[in-house]
Amino acid sequence: MIISLVGYMGSGKSHISKILSDKINFKLIDLDKEISRRNKLTIPEIFEKKGEIYFRKLERETLEEILATQENIVLSLGGGTPVYYNNMEIINNNSASVFLRASICTLAERISKQKEKRPLIAKIADEDLPEFIAKHLFERNVYYSKAQLSINTDQKNPEDIIQEIIEKLYL
């Protein structure tokens, strides 16, 4: 079984996937880290040197390879992964997809502390971040909402979120 966590940057995908994979004894794969490892470049370096289109192709290829395995995996996806090509359809057909939802305020608070690691927001002023997130989320929620399971993460601790995932996926 593969459990794919989708959601906007800062929704908790990386943090929740680590704890969840430990708890249910599944292998953890962070898609962005796997792409970086394979290409020996960070995600910002790939964006800078090769461009977003190149990155999205790598992302798609890596996603397909991981989803083709028969392993028990918790897969943490990049915020944009479900948006490109027919990735969300492939994710749903080959894994249990979980959308980690968070409010714009929560997301802005979390990602403002990590701007240098996030190419899409690196140059956006903190005061403009909520508006950027709102517009971006409006576009991306169409894809995120196709996930098989949706969990609101606002004001929940990681253990509660993980317990909700386990219960709803009957693990």
Q: What 3-state DSSP class applies to 71?
A: coil
pLDDT in tens, the chain (171 residues): 999 999 999 999 999 999 999 999 999 999 999 999 999 999 889 989 999 999 999 999 999 999 999 899 999 999 999 999 999 999 999 999 999 999 999 999 999 888 777 777 888 998 999 999 999 999 999 999 999 999 999 999 999 999 999 999 987
140 is in an annotated binding site: yes
Largest CA distance in the chain: 45
12 is in an annotated binding site: yes
13 is in an annotated binding site: yes
11 is in an annotated binding site: yes
Which residues are within 8 A (CB) of 21 and not within 5 positions of it... i.e. 6 or more apart? Answer: 27, 28, 73, 74
Alpha helices in 52-97 (DSSP H): 52-67, 87-94
Cα–Cα distance measured from residue 62 to residue 40, given in angstroms and rounded to the nearest whole number:
14
The reported pTM is: 0.94
In what side-by-side order are the strands of the sheet with 149-152? Answer: 27-30, 73-76, 2-6, 96-101, 149-152
118 is in an annotated binding site: yes
- The percentage of residues in the chain with a pLDDT greater than 70, rounded to a whole number, is 100
10 is in an annotated binding site: yes
Give the domain ranges of the chain: 2-169
